[in-house]
Amino acid sequence: MGDFLQVLGEYDIAGAYWFNVKLAFFSGIFSLVLGTILALMRISPLPSLQWAGATYVNLVRNIPLTVVMMFAAFALWPQLGVTFSENLDQNFFWLAVWALSVYTASFVCESIRSGVNTVPVGQAEAARAIGLSFLPAARLVILPQAFRGSIAPLGNTFIALIKNTTVASAISVADISLVMKYMVDQHGNYVIPIFLTVAAGFVIIVIPVGLVVTLLSQRLAVAR
């Protein structure tokens, strides 16, 4: 046991997990914004916007996240010239955030749309009756109730996002899965303890998120 603890001390485990937390935080914010826009497009009265939103969701969520991540690293940056930072490590970090945000937004969109389905049709009709156009009605009437109704699916989406941050190691972002790979390569006799340690770290991160989501979904549920 003492030897294994010494092995753990050779690596910045906490720093690696912090990378995953930062990836999840920034990707969560951007995917929520983009997913909300996509949800508005999908419930829009304009068929062209409905088609564009549905096409994005159906296309992106059926592409493996690793492919999206590789596109960011090997096409978006070197081929299309999209650069987020002059620092190479920071650039790869933000490329990973871009990939995670673009991918997760499709699931956020569907989570919000499921919340929209919980809003009674009469709410939208009442908004139109008092002269509100689509965007004001969505902002003032539909989305506030939809977000309350979609807390649970949104929570599940963001929990999946936390675990999906490990895919960033595919483009050499120094997250916990990349550190785990180095640990396994250099200390193959501790494979099982290394895997269990990394798994325990994600349990420690994810369980509080799940508890908060459950509490919020119970407290903010719309009474019908």
At 187, which CATH number? 1.10.3720.10
**What are the tens digits of pLDDT across the range 98-146?**
999 999 999 999 999 988 888 877 777 787 888 788 888 888 888 888 8
CA-wise closest residue to 179 among 25, 10, 4, 6? 10
Residue 224 lies in a domain: no
Instruction: Note whether residue 140 is domain-resident.
Output: yes
Per-residue confidence (pLDDT) for residue 86, from 0 to 100? 77
Structure confidence by residue, pLDDT tens digits, 32-91? 999 999 999 998 889 999 999 999 999 999 999 999 999 988 888 778 777 887 787 888
CA distances from 169 to 22, 172, 217 (A): 14, 5, 33
Tell me, yes or no, whether 135 lies in a domain.
Answer: yes
Q: What is the pLDDT at residue 121? A: 76
Query: With contact defined as beta carbons under 8 Å apart, do 129 and 178 qualify?
Result: no
Residue 149 lies in a domain: yes
Tell me whether residue 47 is in a domain. Answer: yes
**pLDDT per residue as tens digits for the range 17-36:** 998 999 999 999 999 999 99
**pLDDT score of 160:** 94
What's the confidence (pLDDT) of residue 143?
A: 86
Structural domain count, the chain: 1
Range of the domain at 127: 2-219
Q: What is the pLDDT of residue 224?
A: 54
Q: Give CA separation, 65 vs 16, 52, 221, in Å.
A: 20, 21, 32
The CA distance from 153 to 111, in Å, is: 5
What pLDDT shows up at residue 223?
Answer: 57
